[in-house]
């Protein structure tokens, strides 16, 4: 590891704690620079692609192909007047953007870009991600409650409903991966994927992807900031840099979710035919691809209604994630009994068949939100 | 990288991230002092924005949020996941016994889930 080598080198000259802090800060600075740059790239990419999806140009004034648009946005947002409503709870209103911004950045500490490019390979990596990732919701709830706006409050309640519904399938779908790997460390998870897990566990992949898309509030699950119903939801009363923090946090969370999909199900930085470029390039390529699929979905599907939104999580995703756990568990036990002789190809086809059948048959068992609903 | 060093880096990252967020909030305050950012508050501007209508009454009133039962089901199954994580990590060593054990445990919880579904608790009503 680069950081470890740097630490050993510095510890030869300085006291150990000083070397440790300096090395940590170097790693963190690289990580934060990467995080902010990636967000800017992704914002530009999203605006450009959504523009094309909607048959218009997208940003094309600032710089060639509008590349400088995120920087122009940053300058604009920095010079906006900071408005705090008179009736707002001033402290909650002030702290909410901080709480929403920090957790996505913390998730990136354990994202395994490459064996030697991970800030901290915690032995409880994925559990840490789950724990930290759900804190961002608290920020959105604080914002909605603290700005004393009725639309924001409705949005805050929807945030809570969303968290309550989608957290369970998200967390359960990860268990299929852990069953195979037998470790919570992100690096171990990537190392075990000689065959990417989305091939072995299509059901778990589907559930995780959809639940993650809902957790990061991408359309069609973006009804907590549904512009046509509740203005902009929890951040109506924010302006200037505080709004920018929400914006950064939201995109950071979406990036973290696509990085997680990459690391858990798409094999991280691994590439089937050798590794010509360094593996973090593959990781980034897969991550951006997942992100593009997220906004492809966003620009294709209309927004769900709130009862359909929660019903989808409980009636479809949750049973699917439970079935996935026991499917994988039974297969692992059976493969072990057979001495791993048949592993993995028959199981792969079996899993795809079962997943396809369930996806086709299960939705026939119930209906999602028929008729009028008073929200 | 030893066991605790990784956690130290995460703690350090949290401090730096908080400092960054504080910087993002304090920088506009500084720029306001320097008169780069305008500051002209008025009663209308600092009022609540509810699509141009004047806001009526207090916001923080009691109201019926309709996913109370979701929250109850959520608590049950979120606690369940705490048991599932260590089980999943140790699964390869535990074998068939653990699989059936967990199947029984989940089945008991799923009975409750099916009951809630049949009772139409999962509808937004």
Is B47 contained in some domain? Answer: yes
Sign of the CA dihedral with A124 first, then A130, A133, and A134 last: negative
Distance CA A68, CA A50 (A): 17
Query: Is residue A331 within a helix (H) or strand (E), and if so which, with residue range?
Result: helix A318-337
For the cut 60, the answer to whether the pLDDT of residue A374 exceeds it is no
What pLDDT does residue A208 have?
A: 92
| Higher-pLDDT residue of A18, A56 | A56
| Higher-pLDDT residue of A68, B67 | A68
Asked if residue B81 and residue B38 are part of one domain, the reply reads no
pLDDT in tens, A187-209: 888 888 878 888 888 888 999 99
What pLDDT does residue A342 have?
A: 66
For the cut 80, the answer to whether the pLDDT of residue B18 exceeds it is yes
What pLDDT does residue A275 have?
A: 59
CB A310 within 8 A of CB B70: yes
Structure tokens at A48: 């450009």
Is B90 contained in some domain? Answer: yes
CB A6 within 8 A of CB A28: no
Q: What is the pTM of this model?
A: 0.88
pLDDT in tens, A131-147: 888 888 888 888 888 88
Is B59 contained in some domain? Answer: no
Is B112 contained in some domain? Answer: yes
> In whole numbers, what is the pLDDT of chain A averaged over residues?
84
Question: Would you give the DSSP letter of residue A166?
Answer: H
Is B125 contained in some domain? Answer: no
- B57 interface with A at CB cutoff 8 Å: no
Q: A246, A357, A375, A247: which is closest to A309 by C-alpha?
A: A375
Residue A166: partners with Cβ closer than 8 Å, 6 or more residues away: A211, A214, A215, A313, A317
Peptide bond into B93 cis (omega under 30): no
Asked if residue B48 and residue B6 are part of one domain, the reply reads yes
Distance CA A46, CA A48 (A): 5
Q: Mean pLDDT over residues A275-286, rounded?
A: 78
pLDDT in tens, A55-89: 998 888 888 888 888 888 888 888 888 888 888 88
For the cut 70, the answer to whether the pLDDT of residue A371 exceeds it is no
Q: B125, B28, B20: which is closest to A374 by C-alpha?
A: B125
For the cut 70, the answer to whether the pLDDT of residue A344 exceeds it is yes
Which of A4, A102, A306 lies at the smallest CB-CB distance from B18? A102
What pLDDT does residue B27 have?
A: 87
Q: Which residue of A has its CA nearest to B38?
A: A81
ipTM of the complex: 0.85
For chain B positions 14-33, those within 8 Å of chain A (CB to CB) are 14, 16-18, 20-22, 24-25, 27-29, 31-32
Is B22 contained in some domain? Answer: yes
What pLDDT does residue A195 have?
A: 80
What pLDDT does residue A365 have?
A: 80
Least confident residue range of A87-96, A267-276, B22-31? A267-276
Asked if residue B69 and residue B49 are part of one domain, the reply reads no
Q: How many domains does chain B have?
A: 2
Asked if residue B104 and residue B82 are part of one domain, the reply reads yes
Which of A20, A167, A333 lies at the smallest CB-CB distance from B8? A20
Distance CA A153, CA A188 (A): 42
Supply the range of the domain harboring residue B46: 2-54
């Amino acid at each position: 590891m680069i950081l470890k080598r740097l630490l050993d080198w510095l510890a030869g000259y300085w006291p150990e704690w000083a070397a440790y802090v300096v090395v940590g800060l170097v790693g963190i600075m690289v990580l934060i620079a990467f995080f902010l740059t990636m967000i800017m790239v992704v914002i530009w990419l999203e605006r450009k692609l959504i523009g094309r999806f909607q048959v218009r140009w997208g940003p094309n004034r600032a710089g060639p192909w509008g590349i400088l648009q995120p920087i122009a946005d940053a300058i604009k947002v920095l010079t906006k007047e900071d408005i705090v409503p008179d009736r707002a709870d001033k402290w909650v209103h002030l702290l909410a953007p901080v709480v929403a911004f920090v957790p996505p950045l913390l998730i990136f500490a354990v994202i395994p870009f490459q064996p030697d490019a991970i800030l901290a390979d915690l032995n409880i990596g994925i559990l840490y991600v789950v724990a930290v990732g759900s804190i961002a919701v608290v920020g959105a709830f604080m914002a909605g409650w603290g700005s004393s706006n009725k639309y924001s409050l409705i949005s805050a309640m929807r945030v809570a409903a969303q968290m309550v519904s989608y957290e369970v399938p998200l967390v359960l779908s990860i268990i299929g991966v852990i069953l195979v790997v037998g470790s919570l460390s992100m690096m171990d998870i990537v190392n075990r994927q000689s065959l990417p897990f989305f091939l072995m566990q299509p059901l778990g992949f589907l559930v995780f992807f959809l639940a993650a898309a809902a957790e990061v509030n991408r359309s069609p699950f973006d009804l907590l900031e549904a512009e046509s119903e509740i203005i902009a939801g929890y951040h109506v009363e924010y302006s200037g840099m505080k709004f920018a923090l929400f914006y950064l946090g939201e995109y950071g969370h979406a990036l973290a979710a696509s990085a997680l999909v990459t690391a858990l199900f798409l094999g991280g930085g691994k590439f089937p035919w050798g590794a010509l470029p360094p593996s973090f390039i593959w990781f980034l390529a897969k991550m951006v691809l997942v992100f593009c699929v997220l906004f492809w979905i966003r620009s294709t599907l209309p927004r769900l209604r709130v009862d359909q939104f929660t019903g989808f999580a409980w009636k479809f995703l949750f049973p699917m994630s439970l079935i996935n756990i026991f499917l994988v568990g039974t297969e692992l036990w059976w493969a072990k009994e057979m001495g791993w002789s048949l592993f993995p190809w028959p199981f792969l086809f079996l899993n795809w068949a079962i997943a396809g059948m369930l996806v086709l048959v299960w939705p026939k068992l119930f209906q999602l939100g028929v008729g009028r609903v008073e929200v | 990288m030893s066991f605790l060093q990784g956690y130290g880096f995460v703690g350090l990252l949290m401090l730096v991230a908080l400092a960054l967020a504080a910087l993002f909030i304090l920088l506009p305050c500084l720029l306001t002092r320097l008169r780069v950012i305008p500051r002209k508050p008025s009663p209308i501007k600092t009022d609540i924005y509810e699509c141009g209508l004047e806001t009526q009454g207090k916001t923080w009133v009691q109201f019926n949020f309709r996913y109370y039962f979701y929250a109850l089901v959520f608590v049950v199954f979120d606690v369940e996941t705490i048991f599932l994580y260590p089980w999943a990590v140790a699964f390869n060593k535990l074998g068939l016994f653990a699989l059936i054990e967990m199947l029984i445990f989940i089945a008991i919880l799923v009975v409750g889930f099916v009951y809630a579904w049949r009772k139409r608790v999962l509808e937004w009503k």
